[in-house]
A and B are shown apart, each in its own frame.
Chain A
Amino acid sequence: MSADGGTRVIWDSDDVNRALKRIAHQVLESNRGADDLVLLGIRTRGIPLAHRLGAFVSDAEGIEVPVGELDITMYRDDLRRNPTRAVGPTRIPVDLTGKTVVLVDDVLFSGRTIAAAMDALKDLGRPRVVRLAVLIDRGHRELPIQADHVGKDLPTSSAEHVRVAVAEIDGEDLVTLSQTKES
């Protein structure tokens, strides 16, 4: 399944949705239902994934699960190492205190994004439990962080680049692995 030169397609749209559906059930199982459940997507591609995950959870349980959006730009530990970044909205749909918050992101890599997200979460309330759901775990952690729910464990070399495209932003669902980092 080679798209071109050094790029390999890992997953297509069906694969992505199958994985999200599976994660939805895992989330419900570990939370024993949808009570007090809040999904927070991490900008940028975690947000549509969180909304889809929320829809699967709602379908399964028949109740609306609140889904929010988290922008972690100002919490990044590499803020000073890049030109000033644009800041996106953070939307927290309900008071998080006492809730089970599931952070949703596309790729888990170094763990720094999740660490920043947890710092942000601290300023937003005091959830009872925080869990992490990711579509792809590609390894190479730099911090002691692991996901509770994983769509796919994808062994990679650090030189490889994992790209997750989602239909809401990129026009199609597609997970690819390329040999050299794209700029």
Chain B
Amino acid sequence: MSLVVTGATLADGSALDFAVVDGRLAEVSDADDSAERVDASGLVALPGLVDLHTHLREPGKEDAETVASGTLAAARGGYTAVFAMPNLDPATDTAEAAQYVADLGRRDGHCEVVPIGAVTKGRAGAELAELGLMAEQGVRVFSDDGACVHDSLIMRRALTYLKTYDGMVAQHAQDPRLAGPSACCHESDISGRLGLPAWPSVAESVIIARDVQLAEFTGGRYHACHISTAESVDVIRWAKKRGKADITAEVTPHHLLLDTPHVESFDTTFKVNPPLRTSEHIEAIREALVDGTIDIVGTDHAPHTQEDKDHPFDVASPGMLGLEAALAVVMELFVNTGRMDWATVVDRMSAAPARIGRLPHQGRPLAVGEPANLVLVDPSRRATVDRSTSASKSRNNPYHGLDLPDPVEMTVWAGRVTYRR
């Protein structure tokens, strides 16, 4: 099939009429008469979004999400590629497991699915997983996400070993002594009042401070997942200024938008790890995303069944949905407030994550000859978020009831329309 898209504006403000032919962008004149004509007047055409941080739950927890449902949610959010975190059952800690996730993506995916490999066996933090064999299958991002690679020596070895493969450690930074397994509320007057196990901001930054020095020391590639605190921003900023380490950082839409008081009703929808922070941290991470200290937005899309949320707050599963809302949140916070232009949005949500994840055919500028991965965005449309309409199998949607932009009109992945309103 082919498309002819006319009237769209690009991220840089220029106009481009184009055709989609054989999975690539082409001149309008290259399309034949049977091509579908799309009037994109008033819409913005962006490269397809890339999520470096997605939980797809398959294999192992298919009642919460499958590759099919998760990637459909991704397509509805404007994504054309997602990196699948390895906390699956079995964990993605072998070449075979990584191959299986990639195969599921090819079979069921509504976008590209790229497996992330575990850093350690079973994500237990003790012994290295078969990093090289996974890398031979194309894996470039390694993470024990959900668990922190807390042992300094293991982190050093992983960073060093992965240099051969241009691999990267994506760290879930959480000092397990400062913020133990039950920690679930940002340490603040709210945790003090509610008596919820506290998750202090420094439990994140002390790990990142150590890691950036190990990255510098080893020359390995390091990525800090879901930065949530002002102290972490300071550390990253300091390390980037030194310029001696290959480090990148990520922030989630929920940490950008939602604050600690959301947990005061003990609604486990708002339980997430790291926890929602207070305004001074939120402003710090927003500023860091604008100035590039934080490189990308990663959704940390974490579907959970209602059964897994219907527990006491400190026991319920942490995590919230994000793929369908991420662009809306970024628009609301940055584009609609004038803090970011579209080109910067494209960098933070498409080009930079593709570059960090070593996905050369994603996050490309929209131009004739480029792969046809794109999303058409209506910058003015808004809607009230309704969790029941999500493409995800889960309903742990923290944006339910909020009035937010509702931008995505059409998503095209590798020349195929994967979503249209």
In the complex, are there CB atoms of A and B closer than 8 Å? Answer: no
B contact set with A: CB distance below 8 Å: none
A contact set with B: CB distance below 8 Å: none
